[in-house]
Amino acid sequence: MCGIVGYIGSNPCVDVLVSGLEKLEYRGYDSAGVAIVRDGVLETRRAKGKLINLKRAIKAEPTDGLLGIGHTRWATHGAPTVDNAHPHRSGEIAVVHNGIIENYVELKRELVGHGHVFASETDTEVIAHLVNHIKTARKLSLVDAVRAAVRRLHGAYSIVVVDASEPDVLVGARLASPLVLGFGTDENYLASDVSAILNHTRDIVFLDDGVLATVRAGSVTLTDIETGKEVEPVIKRITWTPSMAEKGGYKHFMLKEIHEQPRAIADTLRGRFSLERCEVDLPEIPVTAEQLQNISQFYVIACGTSWHAGLVGKYHFEDLAGLATHVELASEFRYRRAPIDERTLVLAISQSGETADTLAALRDAKARGATIISICNVIESSIPRESHGTLYTHAGPEIGVASTKAFTTQLAALHLLAIRFGHLLGRLAPEGVVRELEALLHVPAMMEAELEREHDYASIIRSWHQVHSMLFLGRGNLYPLALEGALKLKEISYIHAEGYAAGEMKHGPIALIDEDVPTVVLNPMDAHFAKVRSNLAEVKARSGPVLTVATDGDAEADEIGDFKLTVPDVPETVLPLMMSLPMQLLAYYMADFKGTDVDQPRNLAKSVTVE
Ligand code: M6R
């Protein structure tokens, strides 16, 4: 996620903006900029890379004023360049934006038709031109022009807008992306994140979706974007320390990122399908129906959690597209002489885009003629740069070393890609496309509800935090989730854990079962329900403690296991998404109870750029 800071008041603000952006650096970014209204003139300074570059740009060409906005950009549309850095301007209007504008292509076409000239590849720039266009054409105030403009935007946004011709007002609006308002004395602030303004004020309003903020030095008015009716601000006194503020009030980044998943998944799906046309649109993946029909091999290569995502993807590609899929650990694949030719398709999955093994395997396959596509969370990182096409997840920067939102957005992206391939190959009829999309679209809201149930974990953790070893069992597309549950637990709690396909129990791991080795059994009501329940009974018969992760309403699970967590009754193709939450939260609470360093576990790095 990008970072926003805005200021209006009686003091020169460039330092407030830059120091606010510094407080947002922990979120990750690849360019930054400010726009300041100085003596009725709009001045922008922008730079690629770290804030030090922006500071240099400001030092080289000083600017300051009583009204301004600043931004750190995490690239989603367009490379991290100066031209793509925010603020974006149209005439004397400048805008900073977090989120994704789904209909920017149509809006851009319309605005170009009206004579607007675009200087960047971003979706954000359309907002600046749209506000300017509406303001001029309809002779409106900035506030009314912003209100009219945001009503035409589809997608997610938090924006802050300034206009040099109205230097007494700062305008903000939000929809599905956070924006907070901070109150000072003869000065007020807007920011994407409390931490950016905590040094100046602790009186904060967390703006609701659909609210427009008209902010002046001495007053603030909130109105509903649609109706124009005034909304009463609910001011909260924030007592967080700066470190708590960075984590949005959560104890760890990992927990914050677990809670960000509904939004991250919605952002990853946004603008990539049409229910009316029964289609998934992925122009970034240049694979044709003809190419898919003639594929010799389809390999998915990845490491760690991304490999687990790939294993779930195998079920999607085989079920929805009928595509035989080989999911490979990149560290092994790179040293094998697997059959590869010009008809081979390789999908590399990596949240960071820099994992050395995945990159080396990709290069080797590419050199041997394969077409390379990738799923990645970091725009312009090495893996996308060396791929023929990349489907970006829109998880925003992930700071916790243990991957959570990057994983579930990979699952959503893989599902979209499999629907697309299924459609291209004629394996998925329009009704099937709609069925899969609707299942995916319900996930964010269901995750929100599941995240409310955190107290369910307390008794499990109290009983099990001292165990030395655990097993995770799953079957079908939940086998990879058993692997992921075990990986999460060992990464952050240092408890030894193994994930197994439930059917493999009797081929070895059952020998480990006794009263000191708990087993987590992923046993929702799916096609494998009865078989997995038998596996569960086998564990109980050997005195093994059991946590059953069952479907809501499965009363028998209470009797047969020692503990129960539940997931909602959802179509099987989205069960791995819903099952991710109990896997992540179990590991998180276990580690937190033990007091380990959840966000920076020992011996691990966020981006593994060495072999
Ligand atoms: O950046 P990548 O997705 O390529 O990283 C792959 C693994 O290093 C990564 O998933 C690792 O296993 C995480 N720590 C898992 O939480």
Residue 1: band (very low, low, confident or very high) from pLDDT cuts 50, 70, 90? low
Region 503-507 average pLDDT: 92
- Probe target for ligand 1 pocket from 253, 331, 334, 352, with the most ligand atoms within 8 Å of CB: 352
pLDDT at 246: 83
Q: pLDDT for 456-465, tens place per residue?
A: 898 899 999 8
Q: pLDDT for 260-276, tens place per residue?
A: 999 999 999 999 999 99
Supply the DSSP string of 322-391, one letter for each residue. ----EEEEHHHHTTS-----TT-EEEEEESSS--HHHHHHHHHHHHTT-EEEEEESSTT-HHHHTSSEEE
Quick one: which atom of ligand 1 is closest to the CA of 607?
1
The Å distance, Cα 147 to ligand 1 centre, comes to 42
For residues 450 and 567, the answer to whether their CB atoms sit within 8 Å is yes
> Residues 6 or more apart from 67 whose CB is under 8 A from it?
7, 8, 13, 36, 37, 162, 167, 168, 170
Rounded to the nearest 5°, which phi and psi values hold at 292?
Answer: -65, -40
Residues 90, 92: Cα–Cα separation, whole Å: 6
pLDDT at 378: 87
The Å distance, Cα 305 to ligand 1 centre, comes to 5
Rounded to the nearest 5°, which phi and psi values hold at 45?
Answer: -135, 125
Residue 77: band (very low, low, confident or very high) from pLDDT cuts 50, 70, 90? confident
Q: Is 580 in the pocket of ligand 1 (CB under 6 A)?
A: no
The Å distance, Cα 400 to ligand 1 centre, comes to 11
pLDDT at 249: 87
The Å distance, Cα 248 to ligand 1 centre, comes to 24
Token reading at 149: 């403009």
Q: pLDDT for 288-325, tens place per residue?
A: 999 999 999 999 999 999 999 999 999 999 999 999 99
Q: Is 384 in the pocket of ligand 1 (CB under 6 A)?
A: no
Burial code (b: 16+ CB inside 10 Å, e: under 16) for 358-387 equals bbbbbebbbeeebbbbbbbbbbbbbbbebb
SS3 for 273?
A: strand
Q: Is 352 in the pocket of ligand 1 (CB under 6 A)?
A: yes
Quick one: which atom of ligand 1 is closest to the CA of 403?
16
Q: pLDDT for 22-52, tens place per residue?
A: 988 877 788 999 999 999 999 999 999 999 9
Q: pLDDT for 428-439, tens place per residue?
A: 999 999 999 999
Region 108-118 average pLDDT: 97
Q: Is 99 in the pocket of ligand 1 (CB under 6 A)?
A: no
pLDDT at 190: 98
Quick one: which atom of ligand 1 is closest to the CA of 410?
3
**421-to-267, 314, 377, 426, 448 alpha-carbon distances in Å:** 21, 12, 21, 8, 29
Q: Does pLDDT of 250 surpass 70?
A: yes
Residues 570, 567: Cα–Cα separation, whole Å: 8
Q: Spell out the long-range contacts of 602-607 with Cβ–Cβ below 8 A and sequence spacing 24 or more.
A: 602/494, 604/401, 604/491, 605/401, 606/352, 606/398, 606/399, 606/401, 607/352, 607/354, 607/355
Q: Does pLDDT of 407 surpass 70?
A: yes
Instruction: Return the C-alpha torsion angle 336, 340, 346, 349, nearest 10.
Output: 10
Q: Does pLDDT of 441 surpass 90?
A: yes
Q: Is 395 in the pocket of ligand 1 (CB under 6 A)?
A: no
Residues 177, 161: Cα–Cα separation, whole Å: 16
Atom 8 of ligand 1, residue of closest alpha carbon? 304
The Å distance, Cα 132 to ligand 1 centre, comes to 44
Q: Is 356 in the pocket of ligand 1 (CB under 6 A)?
A: no
Q: Is 518 in the pocket of ligand 1 (CB under 6 A)?
A: no
Q: pLDDT for 149-180, tens place per residue?
A: 999 999 989 999 999 999 999 999 999 888 99
Q: Does pLDDT of 603 surpass 90?
A: no
Q: pLDDT for 371-399, tens place per residue?
A: 999 999 988 889 999 999 999 999 988 88
Residues 201, 75: Cα–Cα separation, whole Å: 29
pTM for this structure? 0.84
**Domains present along the chain, CATH in parentheses:** 3-244 (3.60.20.10), 253-428 (3.40.50.10490), 454-594 (3.40.50.10490)
For residues 311 and 299, the answer to whether their CB atoms sit within 8 Å is no
Token reading at 323: 């595509």
Q: Which residue from 611, 115, 580 is spatially nearest to 308, judged by alpha carbons? A: 580
The Å distance, Cα 326 to ligand 1 centre, comes to 19
Peptide bond into 397 cis (omega under 30): no
| Alpha-helical regions (H) of 36-102 | 51-60
Q: Does pLDDT of 605 surpass 80?
A: no
Strand 469-474 to 496-501 pairing? parallel
Q: Does pLDDT of 236 surpass 70?
A: yes
Region 503-517 average pLDDT: 92
Q: Is 351 in the pocket of ligand 1 (CB under 6 A)?
A: yes
Region 563-575 average pLDDT: 96
Atom 7 of ligand 1, residue of closest alpha carbon? 304
Q: How many residues does the chain have?
A: 611
- In percent, the amount of the chain with pLDDT more than 70 equals 100
Q: Which residues are catalytic?
A: 2, 606
Strand 546-551 to 519-522 pairing? parallel
Q: Is 584 in the pocket of ligand 1 (CB under 6 A)?
A: no
SS3 for 294?
A: coil
